[in-house]
Amino acid sequence: MSIKKALASAPSAGLVTVVMQVQSFYAIIIGFALTIFLPHIIHEDISAKTLVKKSIGALIMFSGIYVLFT
């Protein structure tokens, strides 16, 4: 529902899509934090090599969406 409202009120759908793509960075940060603070609930590989790969992947996705919609 909020996505539809944002698409209707934003000057362009591309802007909304680019902002929504930031969720992949949030997922990396939340996964890292949960692994550090609640390792009995979630355990994720947080080695530097893996975090760099995930960050590069998220950056590529974000860049692609940005180029596509702006």
Asked whether the predicted pLDDT for residue 1 surpasses 70, the reply is no
Length of the chain: 70
How far, in Å, CA of 35 to CA of 30, rounded?
8
Q: Do the beta carbons of residue 33 and residue 46 sit within 8 Å? A: no
Q: Which tens digits make up the pLDDT trace of 26-64?
A: 989 999 999 999 999 888 888 999 999 999 998 998 888
